[in-house]
Structure 1
Amino acid sequence: MIRRINKVAVIGSGIMGSGIACHFANIGVEVLLLDIVPRELNDKEKAKGLTLEDKVVRNRMVNDHLTASLKSKPSPIYHKDFAKRITTGNLEDDLHKVKEVNWIIEVVVERLDIKQKVFEQIEKHRSPGTLITSNTSGIPIKFMNEGRSEDFRKHFAVTHFFNPPRYLKLFEVIPGPDCLPEITDFLMGYGEKFLGKTSVLAKDTPAFIGNRIGIFGIQSLFHQVKELGLTIEEVDKLTGPVIGRPKSATFRTVDVVGLDTLVHVANGIHENCPDDEAHELFRLPDFIEKMVQNKWLGSKTGQGFYKKTVNGDGKKEILSLDLDTMEYRAKKSAKFATLELTKTIDRPIDRFKVLVGGKDKAGEFYRKNFAAMFAYVQNRIPEISDELYRIDDAMKAGFGWENGPFEIWDSIGVEKGIELMKAEGLEVADWVNEMLAGGNNSFYTVKDGATYYYDIPAKVQTKKPGQDAFIILDNIRKTNEVFKNSGVVIEDLGDGILNVEFRSKMNTIGGDVLAGLNKGIDLAEKDFQGLVIGNQGANFSVGANIGMIFMMAVEQEYDELNMAIKYFQDTMMRMRYSSIPTISAPHGMSLGGACELSMHADKVVAAAESYIGLVEFGVGVIPGGGGSKEMALRASDTFRKNDVELNVLQEYFLTIGMAKVSTSAYEAFDLGILQKGKDIVVVNKDRQIAQAKKHAVLMAEAGYTKPVKRKDVKVLGKQALGMFLVGTDSMEAGHFISEHDKKIANKLAYVMAGGDLSEPNYVSEQYLLDIEREAFLSLCTERKTLERIQHMLKTGKPLRN
């Protein structure tokens, strides 16, 4: 039987409930969101003369929660219109509507008695065969199952989302003891394919996989910080991006999540896992107890490990908690010689060998930290998972780790990891010794483009399931490499499709990347049938290499700069006018030149989490790689009979002039950066390259022909230019923009108007590219533009001058 999810009911509208409801709305599902009825009126309701019987009062709880969620940043919703897919109600008047849904998700308070009461009420209305799951993070399923019907139990599981549901990829599926295998399989598949998650099958053990390992890691650090005499800044420096973890690292992450949340989970593990060999590690240190007593819970209470204040000069300042004195003090910088040794190593996975060999306090910290983690995860098999890869998947998807514990252990060597453990007096699990004795020297291997893991019961390397829907560039790069330079690797994806993968720092687009793109097109036109531009880094690309532009401009090498910009423009035009289909696969930050690249591809297969925009105004220039031309062209293509064409053009002008960046791929359609009917969005980023390849094959096999160059772009000339100039004058007069902002905007106006033509006319793309390049170059001669570029290079933030 094919099971389809057209409508879900979410019971409980708190932070998690509303977030889950929004994410189902994100993927096009109709949502019924329910919560309890208030027991008394608030002051506003009393003032309006409302009663407890009024619908607006009865739905106040759910509506207030959903409204707060939709206003939160980052937003839980891909596009504001998607919130219309959510209908709200209350558990007394509207619970009967669950009979119409395909899936009921319970997200009420973490109390067994309340959950049992809710399930009892749901069963009165639930249609047989309907999926029913709980988002609990710790209550055993056998207790939630008590008193429930056979059909309920057969379709009941825990589906544990991580907060915020839109952004964190972990989706733990824990089947109940009576849950049908096909229901488990469906939930795992749905999480991957539709919700865009990493589905991890877990056992019904306290905190499941993600929180069990994650909270162990944090608790371990809590105990080590005093033992090693480290400050919280030093720990955050050591546990952040340098080892492939989020910028918020450890203590800042706890502040964001809330210390009370962490304490709740840690206490639960301590109480419910008496046989855990690290049982005492889950006991809270004294400084945590004191912070909880003081209600220093993090961002929600205004202070935690860090505290935001305003100093005597009226400037905002962040103070740090001194764990010895328990008083806040000015932040201290953290530096370690060991970290300096890793600066030339791009990938975190390649740094671990260096880090554990450090001779300073950092090296000692890493040796102790990884020894404790390796010892802990080896002993959780088979308690929390039968397969080691599920532990790695959970940590990467739920805690934002670039590499899981077993992958890190592999990177430093299994035997070296054992050496670290023994140095700390920790024992090695029998299965690890058996693995080595059997001639298996690593937890993972890569064969024929696929990842294999060590299967403990079978004692052999087994292919990791679920990979057929993915293309993993790390796995095919060595064997399928067709071309390589310092900026790109071109891989053969099979079926006649090549992939150009950026490999520069932050995937910036410089001469080497442009050369790689041209080489990719050359190769594809000669021996292949399509080209994908995609990578699996943290971000698609932050745009053009502004450092190179800055150096040329400072040295006044304007001929060379002109040639460099023309090379960028010509490469973009080759993307559009090649004889093979070109597919761009943006994700994460896709800014400036990266946005221009996508706008010139035949098709964009964007990850839902794509932040796309033309942001050149922030560094004092206009888009010079075809972006300004392209916005004028797209405006021209949307002119319709009886349109006020100036108003249409103005919208495209403002997209550039206000440096608008979409907060999701869906918003990029509103900005005119992605095009409806042509470009598509993929929710699961892991599937993006595979999807892009499929579309390249489809376009090629449908008989792709080289497009004809455009000479029919309608520009409005002086009519538009005059309007824009009047607008920028008034903006400057009102002190909304600076004199230099006005100069940049006027240059953009000149390009998008097609120059100062006396009347509307039709021009070629090349005409617009030439005046775009001229405007870009002229801005590069401006001192204030150079100041903006320099400031961006130094701080990563725009300068208003």
Structure 2
Amino acid sequence: MDAKRIIKKVAVLGSGVMGSRIACHFANIGLQVLLLDIVPENAPSDDQKTRNKIVNDALAFALKSNPSPIYLKSFARRIITGNFDDDMPKIAECDWVIEVVVERLDIKQKVFGKVEKYRKPGTLITSNTSGIPIHLMTEGRSEDFKNHFCGTHFFNPPRYLKLLEIIPTRDTLSGVVDFLMEYGEKYLGKTTVLAKDTPAFIGNRIGVFSIMSVLHYVDKTGMTVEEVDKLTGPVIGHPKSATFRTNDVVGLDTMVHVANGLSKNVPDDEAKELFRIPDFVNGMLHNNWLGSKTGQGFYKKEKVNGINQFYALDLKTLEYKPSQKVKFASLETTKTVDSLKDRLKILFAAKDKAGDFYRATFYQLFAYSSNRIPEISNEFYKIDAAMNAGFGWEMGPFEKWDALGVDNTLKEMETAGYKPARWVYDMIASGAKSFYKTENGTRWYYDIPTKSYKVIPGTENFILLDNIRTTNTIWKNSGSTIIDIGDGILNLEFHTKMNTIGSEVIEGINRAITLAETSYKGLVISNEGTNFSAGANVGLIFMMAVEQEFDELNMVVKTFQHTMMRIRYSSVPVVVAPHQMALGGGCEMCMHADKVVAHAELYMGLVEFGVGLIPGGGGTKEFALRLSDELQEGDIELNNFRERFLTIGQAKVSTSAYEAFELGYLKKGRDVVVVSPNRLLAEAKQHCLMMAEEGYVQPIPRTDIRVLGKQALGLGYVGANTMYSGNYISEHDVKISQKLAYILSGGDLSQPSLVSEEYLLGLEREAFVSLCAERKTLERIQSILTGGKVLRN
């Protein structure tokens, strides 16, 4: 990346749904942002508030939206608003100008005319368009403008969807393209994909084709909305929203707009007929049933007698009927199959309606994707990357094809009437067995022009466990694996259901620490699951509590606590690298590490209160310890106590890693945040190695934790009773709150005292086990286990 180019300030032109959210994401990574939009008609020249009304209202709306586009509310202060008429000269101070105005070429060109008037030479200028040819936008612009101009297509919402397509023109300097590719990945946390200036680029070209293929198949076979969503969700590594719920969220009009654009602009596409809109979709458009934005689409929700009722659209009659649960025999057989590759083989071989659906729609997709090379991209791996990052697929078309076996699948495709591109036949003839292969921890792709394998560019700085697990595993059990990630550092990953922490994970942690202390420099705990960890195995706790095996339960809790303390007091550094959900025990694991290297999208919290318990793996003890380290004389002591008490008592979960600092789960000055998910493990390893090489010293167990005793205990009791009197919490909540207050205050001590961690762990363990004997706690646990719902009894 161009070391001389530094991005300090970004201008975003256009504050609509995309513009305001792109501005928020640049603010997320610490940049100052200038967000501009048009002046309202007839706005007085001397009334700045009125002149900025459009941009200010748009930003305010974005900041109130859920999920939030901003990591932390205070980050919004990094965004300065203004308007095109008064504030366009300020773009001279910006290093990157991003245009996000309405999708009309004439308006974009008019905006670029103003931009050229004020931007300083060398400033990056990009357009976030999803449909207008990039090269048309620079007509009439200067050479410097053209050299530094590029398309940057963010997917909505920009904070959460990882795809960023980079679309250069023939005039774009190669250094500008390289900079944007690396900056997008490293700093914005995106999967950056280099795309050609073709209709809908890569992601929407393949993604909309896939959707339209399904719509036409449904139109032909009469499959129901519920059936298709059952088949196109997590079972094949796609998002829970599957096909039709995704359409409702995105908006039917948006999908149709892209499909119509493709139908007009790809006259030589062999499958252009599939971009024709089916009659039932036209009927929905006529009725304005566009999805979430109009309150109904393929699904709708209504309240009946105060209860939410869900309806699905009958595509034949265009009438809504109560949503039905559907089952397929083939899907039932895959319930115990964890590997997506193995599931796909079973599903595609199935002889039922599900198997027919998969073979028809995906064979068609495989053929279509192969035929888009080199039209939309010279390399097929970019198609997979775009689908995975933009549409949330776990495996792209060529990865799925690989999983099924390239040669055998090709023969079945031909039999079914789907013919892929010539280069696929040439690949097989060359002796290549797959589109991808992994060697020496690196993933390679088949390069079509040279008929050889090459390393996927840009992945050299990543450590991906999927690439090294086979060759670098040194120990494993049913729930965890220890992998040598080089330079004397081990990695422990766990792979239980939802990465819950049970006996096999506890064994893995202890074994990993023992191995690291014996023969290595340090340990990283990370994994590549959907979530880092959903916490302790609540089902095991429930079974032991129901059987009243309280001595055994006490031992299980003590073992968990001891394992967390081993993380804290090992003789080598232990770094934890969480991502997405890190709840309960997963949060406690992070709190006991020497350092946490967290992905920015981190939803962390001590949530045990929701199942009628208190954090029992050292989390409550750790809050008491951190409270002690923060304490000052005077009223501030009780203020801090109240904040810690409420954080656990309200089961607060961070909406980002930055909020985890605010809630006290992460520690300022110790823990760090990484925006790029692919760099998380490499960064964690680097920090672990740095601590080891700087002379890591094993910590000494704490015996100097200052607790407040009765004065804090009284505050906790009064607070709980006040909440109960106001009908905010139940009687059982009061009991849990009192036990929580008892631990945080160090017990019923007559005055502030110094206590040890072991003392607090004993209080924590006793409270946890005693709550497991409560019927109402068991009811709460059962509600979570059977229905996934928090019960407030």
State the TM-score, normalizing by the size of structure 2.
Answer: 0.99
User: Residue 288 of structure 2 aligns to which amino acid in structure 1?
Assistant: K
1:368 to 360, 364, 370: 360
2:41 to 9, 14, 39: 39
User: Residue 360 of structure 2 aligns to which amino acid in structure 1?
Assistant: K
Residue of structure 1 equivalent to 2:31: 29
Q: Does 1:252 align with 2:248?
A: no
Runs of 4 or more above 3 Å deviation = none
For the residues of structure 2 that align with 1:695 and 1:314, how far apart are their CA atoms?
53
Displacement of 1:429 after TM fit? Answer: 1.6
Residue of structure 2 equivalent to 1:168: 161
**1:43-54 → structure 2 map (5 Å cutoff):** 51=44, 53-54=46-47
Write the deviation string for residues 167-202 of structure 1: whole angstroms up to 9, x where unpaired. Answer: 000010011110000000000000011000000000
Q: Does 1:625 align with 2:613?
A: no
User: Residue 211 of structure 1 aligns to which amino acid in structure 2?
Assistant: N
For the residues of structure 2 that align with 1:357 and 1:248, how far apart are their CA atoms?
25
Alpha-carbon contact 2:645-2:716 (below 8 Å) kept: no
Alpha-carbon contact 2:366-2:420 (below 8 Å) kept: no
Displacement of 1:602 after TM fit? Answer: 0.4
Q: Does 1:346 align with 2:338?
A: yes
User: Residue 5 of structure 2 aligns to which amino acid in structure 1?
Assistant: R
User: Residue 97 of structure 2 aligns to which amino acid in structure 1?
Assistant: I
1:302 to 295, 316, 323: 295
**1:672-683 → structure 2 map (5 Å cutoff):** 672-683=664-675
Residue of structure 2 equivalent to 1:44: none
Residue of structure 2 equivalent to 1:46: none
Alpha-carbon contact 1:374-1:417 (below 8 Å) kept: no
Residue of structure 1 equivalent to 2:537: 545
SS at match of 2:561: helix
**1:118-129 → structure 2 map (5 Å cutoff):** 118-129=111-122
**1:148-547 → structure 2 map (5 Å cutoff):** 148-311=141-304, 313-547=305-539
Stretch of structure 1 that moved more, 411-420 or 287-296: 411-420
Residue of structure 2 equivalent to 1:132: 125
For the residues of structure 1 that align with 2:148 and 2:318, how far apart are their CA atoms?
50
Give aligned-pair identity as a percent: 64
Displacement of 1:668 after TM fit? Answer: 0.4
Alpha-carbon contact 2:167-2:197 (below 8 Å) kept: yes
For the residues of structure 2 that align with 1:468 and 1:226, how far apart are their CA atoms?
45
For the residues of structure 2 that align with 1:467 and 1:528, how far apart are their CA atoms?
26
User: Residue 25 of structure 1 aligns to which amino acid in structure 2?
Assistant: A
Residue of structure 2 equivalent to 1:55: 48
For the residues of structure 1 that align with 2:421 and 2:124, how far apart are their CA atoms?
39
For the residues of structure 2 that align with 1:423 and 1:639, how far apart are their CA atoms?
74
For the residues of structure 1 that align with 2:733 and 2:325, how far apart are their CA atoms?
35
Residue of structure 2 equivalent to 1:573: 565
Residue of structure 1 equivalent to 2:779: 787
For the residues of structure 2 that align with 1:774 and 1:496, how far apart are their CA atoms?
39
Q: Does 1:685 align with 2:685?
A: no
Mark the runs of 5 or more structure 1 residues left unpaired by the alignment. 42-50
Residue of structure 1 equivalent to 2:82: 89
Displacement of 1:227 after TM fit? Answer: 1.9
User: Residue 248 of structure 1 aligns to which amino acid in structure 2?
Assistant: S
For the residues of structure 2 that align with 1:189 and 1:428, how far apart are their CA atoms?
32
For the residues of structure 2 that align with 1:134 and 1:210, how far apart are their CA atoms?
17
User: Residue 38 of structure 2 aligns to which amino acid in structure 1?
Assistant: I
User: Residue 140 of structure 2 aligns to which amino acid in structure 1?
Assistant: G
Displacement of 1:40 after TM fit? Answer: 4.3
For the residues of structure 1 that align with 2:121 and 2:763, how far apart are their CA atoms?
67
SS at match of 1:467: coil
SS at match of 2:335: coil
Displacement of 1:310 after TM fit? Answer: 1.1
For the residues of structure 1 that align with 2:27 and 2:159, how far apart are their CA atoms?
11
For the residues of structure 2 that align with 1:52 and 1:129, how far apart are their CA atoms?
32
Write the deviation string for residues 367-393 of structure 1: whole angstroms up to 9, x where unpaired. Answer: 101111111000000000001110000
SS at match of 1:171: strand
Residue of structure 2 equivalent to 1:48: none
Write the deviation string for residues 211-265 of structure 1: whole angstroms up to 9, x where unpaired. Answer: 0000000000110112222100110000000001110001000100111111111
For the residues of structure 2 that align with 1:610 and 1:420, how far apart are their CA atoms?
43
Displacement of 1:643 after TM fit? Answer: 4.8
Q: Does 1:644 align with 2:646?
A: no
SS at match of 2:734: helix
For the residues of structure 2 that align with 1:423 and 1:228, how far apart are their CA atoms?
20
2:136 to 143, 166, 179: 143
Alpha-carbon contact 2:219-2:278 (below 8 Å) kept: no
For the residues of structure 2 that align with 1:330 and 1:95, how far apart are their CA atoms?
53
For the residues of structure 2 that align with 1:621 and 1:257, how far apart are their CA atoms?
39
User: Residue 681 of structure 1 aligns to which amino acid in structure 2?
Assistant: V
Write the deviation string for residues 686-718 of structure 1: whole angstroms up to 9, x where unpaired. Answer: 110000000000000000000011000011111
- Count residues with an aligned counterpart: 791
**1:555-574 → structure 2 map (5 Å cutoff):** 555-574=547-566
Displacement of 1:646 after TM fit? Answer: 1.3
Alpha-carbon contact 1:525-1:580 (below 8 Å) kept: yes
Residue of structure 2 equivalent to 1:70: 63
Displacement of 1:425 after TM fit? Answer: 1.2
User: Residue 63 of structure 1 aligns to which amino acid in structure 2?
Assistant: N
Alpha-carbon contact 1:368-1:420 (below 8 Å) kept: no
For the residues of structure 2 that align with 1:325 and 1:730, how far apart are their CA atoms?
55
Alpha-carbon contact 1:483-1:489 (below 8 Å) kept: yes
Mark the runs of 5 or more structure 2 residues left unpaired by the alignment. none
Alpha-carbon contact 2:222-2:316 (below 8 Å) kept: no
Displacement of 1:424 after TM fit? Answer: 2.5
SS at match of 2:103: coil
For the residues of structure 2 that align with 1:682 and 1:705, how far apart are their CA atoms?
26
SS at match of 2:80: strand
For the residues of structure 1 that align with 2:669 and 2:234, how far apart are their CA atoms?
38
